[in-house]
Amino acid sequence: MVQLVLLVLQLLFLLHQQLLLLQQQHQLTQAADRAGEHLPPARSSG
């Protein structure tokens, strides 16, 4: 019974970490989008 509780706690911990990572990535992409708005679009001259 104790093992089951520990297993559930581990799963919750992993899920929490995944959510934190997703939030960080989302914030990074938002910041990159904002920074990209000020830059001219990169065009490959060829």
Distance CA 32, CA 7 (A): 38
Q: What is the pLDDT of residue 36?
A: 80
Predicted model pTM:
0.59
| pLDDT per residue as tens, the chain (46 positions) | 899 999 999 999 999 999 999 999 999 999 988 888 776 666 777 6
Q: Which residue has the tokens 């995944």?
A: 18
Largest CA distance in the chain: 67
What whole-number distance in Å separates Cα of residue 28 and Cα of residue 22? 10
* DSSP secondary structure of 9-25: HHHHHHHHHHHHHHHHH
Query: How far from each other are the two terminal CA atoms of the chain, in whole angstroms?
Result: 67
